[in-house]
Chain A
């Protein structure tokens, strides 16, 4: 069972890991909502070092508001960004149940 469902408010962690990481800097410490569950995939943080990436990890797409990502965002308030985040980089957002 995936830990999160579409619509759940989540916080993207900054695990501070060196090495090969697929979670870009600009979304770390930000809040968004689960857009969909994508399935379970070998962990690239492991694959990068010739390991098998097991156990595989749950992957979600998370939707964020651009104005939450960039304090100086020059577009429109309704603009959004979707990004894929592995489960271990997510926690429930504060104030969400």
Chain B
């Protein structure tokens, strides 16, 4: 462990590589088991309370967000309400968002939005579940604000030069959802079929909605 004097680093450390990952997960598995036993023994928590939160962590999924997007594509009045107040609009469809506010940002022919949290990994988990691993990686957190076009290119999405790319750093109390553009040729599709075109990555801004984007960028961190 470093000493207190090195809590803060300034410019010279910029050149340090930013890495992610550790092979010691077994240690934390054991530590978590020990902590759990002690918290229960001492009456700070009950097992049922822990189980209830685990269930809440496991329930949300990107498909919930996709349903919101599909509804917004079909219902202009709903879209207007969604852009004005994401939490209230999600509640209309039965989704209870636990984060303070959901800011929904709309992609257009002239504007593409991309979400990142540079300080940690803020994400609308109560709606979409756990973020993909690349989203919580330090490389994405470091680069998405400074070279977003390059990062998107690496993730397989090229933003045309005449389109404005807007990065949202999810650094404080808001959480973000990208409303992707509805793909061409989908006039005949119903809400469920439209929702199937919306991937988790499209709602982060790392992909477009549509059949060609069904191959998500890596999997999620949920193991499902």
Chain A residues engaging chain B, CB cutoff 8 angstroms = 18, 22-24, 26-27, 38-39, 41, 44, 59, 61, 66, 69-70, 73-76, 78-86
Complex Cα–Cα for A3 and B150 (A): 37
Interface status of B139 (Cβ within 8 A of chain A): no
**Which one of B101, B103, B166 contacts A79 once the chains associate, using CB atoms below 8 Å?**
B166
| Pairs A–B under 8 Å by Cβ, sample size 21 | A18-B8, A24-B118, A24-B119, A26-B145, A27-B169, A38-B173, A39-B100, A69-B145, A75-B147, A75-B149, A76-B162, A76-B165, A78-B164, A79-B164, A79-B166, A80-B165, A81-B168, A83-B171, A84-B174, A85-B172, A86-B172
Interface size on B, residues (CB 8 A): 27
Chain B residues engaging chain A, CB cutoff 8 angstroms = 7-8, 100-101, 103, 118-119, 145-150, 161-174
Task: State the Cβ distance, A82 to closest chain B Cβ, in Å.
Answer: 5
Complex Cα–Cα for A11 and B170 (A): 19
Instruction: Work out how many contacts link A and B, with CB atoms closer than 8 A.
Output: 77
Complex Cα–Cα for A23 and B173 (A): 12
Q: Are B172 and A22 in contact (CB under 8 A)?
A: yes
Complex Cα–Cα for A84 and B163 (A): 23
Complex Cα–Cα for A39 and B164 (A): 27
Q: Are B166 and A74 in contact (CB under 8 A)?
A: no
Which of chain A's residues have a CB closer than 8 A to the CB of B166? Answer: 79-82
Q: Are B145 and A84 in contact (CB under 8 A)?
A: no
Q: Are B167 and A82 in contact (CB under 8 A)?
A: yes
Q: Are A18 and B164 in contact (CB under 8 A)?
A: no
**Which one of B118, B119, B161, B164 contacts A80 once the chains associate, using CB atoms below 8 Å?**
B164
Q: Are A81 and B164 in contact (CB under 8 A)?
A: no
Q: Are A24 and B169 in contact (CB under 8 A)?
A: yes
Q: Are A70 and B146 in contact (CB under 8 A)?
A: yes
Complex Cα–Cα for A83 and B174 (A): 10
Complex Cα–Cα for A76 and B7 (A): 36
- With most chain B CB atoms within 10 A of its CB, the pick from A39, A76, A81, A86 is A81
Can you name the residue of chain B whose Cβ is closest to the Cβ of A25? B10
Q: Are A23 and B165 in contact (CB under 8 A)?
A: no
Task: State the Cβ distance, A90 to closest chain B Cβ, in Å.
Answer: 13
Task: State the Cβ distance, A88 to closest chain B Cβ, in Å.
Answer: 13
Complex Cα–Cα for A70 and B145 (A): 10
Complex Cα–Cα for A79 and B144 (A): 13
